[in-house]
C-alpha cells in the first residue's frame, strides 16, 4: 500500500513526464534477449556487448529498410558499463568494449537518422552486477545521459526494494525532464510490484513514464510469448485504459528472427503485439535475419496498425472452446483490426463467424488480410470462414465503415467492466489499401 500513498502526492506537474515523446509506440532494436550479457569480446567479437555490435545494428537499420518503417531506436541493455564509476562519480562505459564512449556512439546513431537508448538500474547494482543508480546518483546519471545525447533510458529494478522504487522512479522522471533533453523513459517499476493494482497505480505511471514493463522477461520460446500474451489479455480491463499516446504497456521484445518461433508463431507475436499497441523492439541479429522473419517484421500494414495515432490498446473479444480466440482494436478513421488466433496444435481450423456476431453494425466492409495481401467485401450479416493454422493467426484490417456498435459492444456480458472511451478527435488514417 505504500506505493499508492507515495504516488498519490505526485499528481502535481513537478513529477509529470510531459516530454511529448513516443506519441505512438516506440520501435527499434534492443540487445538483451538475443545477446544478453556476453562480454567475451576476445572469443566472440561479433556477438559481445560492445560498440561494434550496436554500430552493426545501426548500419542494418539504416541500410536495410528498417528506419523508414519506424525502427529508429538502437537500445543498449545491461553490461555496457565499467565496474567502477569515474573520479567524478559518473557512470562510464567499459573502456575496452566501448573505446569511443557512449557520446560517440550516440553521434553515430544520429548521423544515420537513428536514436540511442541506454540502460540503468534503480538498485545498488544492475541485474548483471554493474553499478546501479541509487537515489543519490539519480540527478547525476540523468545529466550524464543527457550530456551523452542519449534519446531513451530504461530503468530496471534489480537489487532495490519497494520503498526505493516508490521514490526513485518518479525522481528519475523529474531528473530527466530537468536536463532539458527529450529522453524517452522506460520504467520497469510495475514488473517488480506484480503488475496490477493495488500495488501499481497506472494513472500515475502514465504521468511519470513513457512506457513500462508490466511482466517478466520474454524468452526465446513460443511458451514465453503465449504466457505473456495471456497475462496481458486476461488483465485487459486494467491494462487497456492505462495505455495511450506517450504512455504504453510493454509486453517486452519481439523475438521474431531468433530460434524459438515458427513462421506462424512469428506472425502471431507480431499481430498480437500490434493489437496491444505494444512497443516494437526487436531483439535478434539483423546481420543474419531470414527473409521470412524480415518480411513479418517489415510488414507495413501490421506496423500501421501498431502505430495508429489514436493509441487505443486492443482487446480479446471472443474465446472459444475450440481454441480459437478473436482480438479487436479500434483504429483511426473508423477502421479496426481483427486477429483470429488458434491455440490449437493439431491442424488448421476452419472458424465460422460473421461481423455482426463480432458486434459490427449493419453495412458492408472491406477486409484486407495483412499477411496474404488479399481483400474481400463482407456484409455484416454474412457468415465467413477463416482457416487459422495451429499457433497461427489471420489478421484483417477492416476499413471504414467498420464501426462497432460501441453501446452494444460494451454492454454485452463478455465485455462488462471495460473502461474504454473511443476518442475520434483529430484521428488521422494511417493505413491505406
**What one-character-per-residue DSSP string does 177-228 give?**
HHTSS--EEEE-HHHHTTSSTTT--HHHHHHH-SEEE-SPPP-SSHHHHHHH
Q: Beta strand 364-369 with 393-398: parallel, antiparallel or unpaired?
A: antiparallel
Q: What is the DSSP letter of 240?
A: G
Q: Residue 431 half-sphere exposure, CB side, CA atoms within 13 Å?
A: 29
Q: What is the DSSP letter of 404?
A: B
Quote the cell numbers at residue 306.
501498431
3-state helix, strand, coil in the chain (%, to 5): 35, 20, 45
Q: Beta strand 280-282 with 27-30: parallel, antiparallel or unpaired?
A: parallel
Which one of the listed residues 151, 156, 250, 380 is annotated catalytic? Answer: 156
Judge whether 311 and 244 are in contact, CB under 8 Å: yes
Judge whether 38 and 260 are in contact, CB under 8 Å: no
Judge whether 198 and 1 are in contact, CB under 8 Å: yes
- What residues contact 407, with CB distance under 8 A and at least 6 apart? none
Judge whether 213 and 191 are in contact, CB under 8 Å: yes
Annotated catalytic, 156? yes
- Give the Cα separation of 207 and 245 in Å (integer): 12
- Give the Cα separation of 163 and 4 in Å (integer): 11
Classify residue 157 as exposed, middle or buried by CB count within 10 Å of its CB (0-12, 13-18, 19+).
buried
Measured between alpha carbons, how far is residue 254 from residues 213, 228, 264, 415 in Å? 14, 12, 14, 29
- Give the Cα separation of 241 and 243 in Å (integer): 6
Annotated catalytic, 217? yes
- What residues contact 217, with CB distance under 8 A and at least 6 apart? 32, 33, 252
Which one of the listed residues 217, 220, 237, 369 is annotated catalytic? Answer: 217
Judge whether 147 and 104 are in contact, CB under 8 Å: no
- The dihedral sign for the CA sequence 296, 300, 302, 303: positive
Active site residues: 156, 217
Amino acid at each position: 500500500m505504500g506505493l499508492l500513498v507515495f504516488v498519490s502526492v505526485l499528481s502535481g506537474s513537478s513529477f509529470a513526464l510531459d516530454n511529448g515523446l513516443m506519441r505512438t509506440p516506440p520501435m527499434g532494436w534492443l540487445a538483451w534477449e538475443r545477446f544478453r550479457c556476453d562480454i567475451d569480446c576476445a572469443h566472440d567479437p561479433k556477438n559481445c556487448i560492445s560498440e561494434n555490435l550496436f554500430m552493426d545494428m545501426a548500419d542494418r537499420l539504416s541500410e536495410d529498410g528498417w528506419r523508414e518503417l519506424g525502427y529508429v531506436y538502437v537500445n543498449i541493455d545491461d553490461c555496457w558499463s565499467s565496474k567502477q564509476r569515474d573520479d567524478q562519480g559518473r557512470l562510464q562505459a567499459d573502456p575496452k568494449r566501448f573505446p569511443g564512449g557512449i557520446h560517440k556512439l550516440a553521434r553515430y546513431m544520429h548521423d544515420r537518422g537513428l536514436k540511442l537508448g541506454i540502460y540503468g538500474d534503480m538498485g545498488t547494482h544492475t541485474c548483471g552486477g554493474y553499478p546501479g543508480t541509487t537515489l543519490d546518483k539519480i540527478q547525476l546519471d540523468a545529466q550524464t545521459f543527457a550530456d551523452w545525447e542519449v534519446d531513451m533510458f530504461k530503468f530496471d529494478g534489480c537489487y532495490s526494494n519497494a520503498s526505493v522504487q516508490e521514490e526513485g522512479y518518479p525522481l528519475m522522471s523529474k531528473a530527466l525532464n530537468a536536463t532539458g533533453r527529450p529522453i524517452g523513459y522506460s520504467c520497469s517499476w510495475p514488473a517488480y510490484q506484480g503488475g496490477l493494482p493495488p500495488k501499481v497505480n497506472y494513472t500515475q505511471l502514465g504521468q511519470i513514464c513513457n512506457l513500462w514493463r508490466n511482466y517478466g522477461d520474454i524468452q526465446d520460446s513460443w511458451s514465453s510469448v503465449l504466457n505473456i500474451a495471456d497475462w496481458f489479455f486476461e488483465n485487459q480491463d486494467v491494462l487497456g485504459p492505462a495505455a495511450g499516446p506517450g504512455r504504453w504497456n510493454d509486453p517486452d521484445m519481439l523475438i521474431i528472427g531468433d530460434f524459438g518461433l515458427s513462421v506462424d508463431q512469428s506472425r502471431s507475436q507480431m499481430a498480437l503485439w500490434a493489437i496491444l499497441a505494444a512497443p516494437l523492439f526487436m531483439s535478434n541479429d539483423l546481420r543474419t535475419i531470414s527473409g521470412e522473419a524480415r518480411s513479418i517484421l517489415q510488414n507495413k500494414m501490421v506496423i500501421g496498425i501498431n502505430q495508429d495515432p489514436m493509441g487505443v490498446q486492443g482487446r480479446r473479444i471472443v474465446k472459444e472452446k475450440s481454441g480459437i480466440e478473436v482480438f479487436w482494436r479500434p483504429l483511426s478513421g473508423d477502421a479496426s483490426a481483427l486477429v483470429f488466433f488458434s491455440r490449437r496444435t493439431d491442424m488448421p481450423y476452419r472458424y465460422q463467424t460473421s461481423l455482426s456476431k463480432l458486434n459490427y453494425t449493419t453495412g458492408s466492409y472491406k477486409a484486407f488480410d495483412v499477411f496474404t495481401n488479399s481483400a474481400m467485401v463482407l456484409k455484416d450479416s454474412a457468415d465467413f470462414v477463416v482457416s487459422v493454422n495451429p499457433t497461427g493467426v489471420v489478421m484483417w484490417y477492416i476499413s471504414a465503415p467498420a464501426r462497432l456498435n460501441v453501446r452494444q459492444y460494451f454492454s454485452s456480458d463478455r465485455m462488462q467492466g471495460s473502461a474504454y472511451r473511443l476518442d475520434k478527435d483529430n484521428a488521422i488514417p494511417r493505413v491505406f489499401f
